Amino acid sequence: MNRREIVLAALATWGEGIGYSPIHAQKVLFLFDRESKDLVGAPFFNFSPYDYGLFDRAVYEVLCDLEKGGFVELRKSKRYREYFLTVEGYRAGTAELNKLPEQAENFLRDLVEWVRELSFSQLVSRIYDKYPDMKENSVFRS
């Protein structure tokens, strides 16, 4: 798999018609990278400590490329951006998700469900607990 494919798979796991915030995208892809190395040959990204935990600009670059290709729609609200798969994007993402080994697909589905259930501060706090190296440059205080 490559970055584009894993981002599409992750977005498809979220579900059709449901938006990903930038925070969710970064955190899901970080955790998948860190915790699925043996399953899919990760890492796909190079996350480093940032203001709210971790960051890799490449996540946004992939999302931008997917938007240009008609796979992702970017919607802006007053608070932040959200990324939605288009119909074509959902179809492509589901195909990529189905290419994953079963254990990796199940892990990604469980991971996305877990991330969706947490508030922003719960999510960042839990990541910091498990990966204290990502707290280094943080402005976040729980």
Given this model, what pLDDT does residue 99 score? 96
- Please report, in angstroms and rounded to a whole number, the separation of the first and last CA atoms in the chain: 35
Given this model, what pLDDT does residue 52 score? 74
Domain membership flag for residue 127: yes
Q: What is the dihedral of CA 8, 14, 17, 23, to 10 degrees?
A: -80
Instruction: Measure the CA–CA gap between 65 and 142, rounded to whole angstroms.
Output: 34
pLDDT, tens digit (0-9, with 9 covering 90-100), for 116-133: 999 988 999 999 999 998
Does this model's pTM top 0.95? My answer is no
Q: Give 35's pLDDT tier (boundaries 50, 70, 90).
A: very high
Given this model, what pLDDT does residue 142 score? 64
Given this model, what pLDDT does residue 135 score? 87
CATH code of the domain in which 101 resides: 1.10.10
Task: Tell me the backbone φ, ψ of residue 85, rounded to 5 degrees.
Answer: -75, 140
Given this model, what pLDDT does residue 105 score? 96
How many domains does one find in the chain?
1
Given this model, what pLDDT does residue 104 score? 94
Instruction: Measure the CA–CA gap between 87 and 75, rounded to whole angstroms.
Output: 15
Domain membership flag for residue 142: no
123: containing domain? 3-135
Q: Which string of DSSP letters, residue by residue, matches 10-65? A: HHHHH-TT--B-HHHHHHHHHHHHHH-HHHH----S--EEETTEEE-HHHHHHHHH
Domain membership flag for residue 56: yes
Closest by Cα among 137, 136, 126 to 28? 126
| Lowest model confidence (mean pLDDT) among 13-22, 82-91, 95-104 | 13-22
